[in-house]
Structure 1
Amino acid sequence: MADSDNTTTLPSVTLGREMQSPLTKECAGSSAEAPLSHDPALLLSLAWIDAHVEMLASSVRQQQEEEGLLERGALLPTGALVERGEGASADCDDLDGREEDAADKADALLAEIAATPAQSLAGVIAKLAVVVREANDNSDLFEFPLPQIRSALADLRRLAHDAICDQPAGDQSIGALFEQPASSFAAWRAFSAWSQGDDEAYRNWTETFKTLQGASQ
């Protein structure tokens, strides 16, 4: 299944309309680093994982719809089955379209990330974390060069710790945010939207979280 982790714990955030996240928090005492919220590579990476998680959720919804259709069809007479099947087919087509749209958006963002120079060490970390996440969820890829990328990512996170984040032990780093399971990321995004008073985004991310969480159980 796309998301096998049941964790629902969210990263540490500040409640209120002006919530700071691990992705937008500027680091004190780092004059050599551009503000994280102004790094285009970092922002593109966040947009990519949004699209990637939505693609996973759409895939799960489609699978659930198809399984439900088969279960309902076994209990219906032939005439009713044909009528019900036509309506379900339209629903599945809609889900197919949503998954394809999210996949196309994610692919376009991947290309844009590769063409966008990072302005901070956090941006470099985010770009590498995107590669690792995409490779982990793509079973067609070979193991190489994942071990080498993971090693470089770990080195960057270690070397950049003092420059990028002066946060208490236990706070999530940029790379850790991208590497968490899809359901946990969706939960974090839902909480972020709620903290900022964005009701529509909150409902959408809550639905995505419930879909992915249900698929992992």
Structure 2
Amino acid sequence: MDKNGEGAAPDPALLLSQAWVEAHVRTLALCLKQQQLETQLAISVGFPAADVALPDGSQRKASSLEDLEEALGRATSVEIARAEEAEALAGHWARWRAKDAELGYSAAKEAEQQAADEEQLLLDKLAITPARTIAGVIAKLAVVLREGEDNRDPSDFPLPHIRSVLEDLTWVTGHNTPGESKPLSAARAPIGQQGAS
């Protein structure tokens, strides 16, 4: 196989990069679905919580029995309040779980986590998989850039520099990045005509 990717065996880095792009798109779609379902669930029944009156007269939200225990402590004078708040909280959680079963929020959240785990596994594999072609190098660099842009401000170093190198490589070689139909810098002036007026 030559350095431009021509030959019999596909570049493993290119294949992993393409798989990562597909996993990334799937994760983003599942994340959006999970967020929409969570919003519907919260609007329908609210996030499970109980307002707890503290001994000092202040109020605190509790979303679990542990929160209630922490807020109220173990004093005998508040055992009745603790039991009432625990019952209210248990009822709220029951409504949450019933609506969740109807909407499928927990299933969507679990599917999103599985997709994110798969995406991370592919990203980890890509880091240790040598590219065998220029196309594989470009694909790996495109994945690094996309992952970086999703988790950081795209104008922070080194992302603009990585973007620039990726554009240079795609323009010089004519190879596309995964998910692109044309090189990033298709409108760029040919070498020798840059800076000409």
TM-score bin, normalised by smaller chain:
0.5 to 0.7
Residue 87 of structure 1: aligned partner: 98
Residue 124 of structure 2: aligned partner: 111
TM-score normalised per structure 1: 0.54
What is the identity, as a one-letter code, of the residue corresponding to 2:160? Answer: P
Residue 70 of structure 1: aligned partner: 42
Q: CA RMSD in A?
A: 3.1
CA contact (8 A) 1:129 1:175 kept: yes
CA contact (8 A) 1:41 1:126 kept: yes
Give the drift of 1:81: 7.3
Is residue 128 from structure 1 mapped to residue 141 from structure 2 by the alignment?
yes
Report the Cα distance in structure 1 between the residues aligned to 2:3 and 2:20, rounded to whole angstroms.
Answer: 26
Report the Cα distance in structure 1 between the residues aligned to 2:6 and 2:159, rounded to whole angstroms.
Answer: 29
CA contact (8 A) 2:23 2:115 kept: yes
Secondary structure of the 1:118 match is coil
Please, which of 13, 17, 21 is the counterpart of residue 45 of structure 1? Answer: 17
Report the Cα distance in structure 1 between the residues aligned to 2:114 and 2:150, rounded to whole angstroms.
Answer: 18
Secondary structure of the 1:38 match is coil
CA contact (8 A) 1:58 1:95 kept: yes
Seq. identity, %: 41
Residue 52 of structure 2: aligned partner: none
Is residue 34 from structure 1 mapped to residue 9 from structure 2 by the alignment?
no
Please give the per-residue CA displacement for 1:144-181, whole angstroms capped at 9, x wherever unaligned. Answer: 211111111011111111xx4xxxxxxxx325629xxx
Give the drift of 1:31: 5.2
Counting matched residue pairs gives 136
CA contact (8 A) 1:157 1:175 kept: no
Q: 1 or 2 for the larger relative contact order (CA 8 Å, sep ≥6)? A: 1
Q: Once superposed, which parts of structure 1, at least 4 consecutive aligned residues long, lie more than 4 Å away?
A: 80-84
Query: Gaps (5+ residues) in structure 1?
Result: 1-29, 165-172, 179-217
Secondary structure of the 1:177 match is coil
Identify, as 1 or 2, the structure richer in strand.
Answer: 2
Is residue 149 from structure 1 mapped to residue 162 from structure 2 by the alignment?
yes
CA contact (8 A) 1:45 1:127 kept: yes
CA contact (8 A) 2:145 2:163 kept: yes
TM-score normalised per structure 2: 0.59
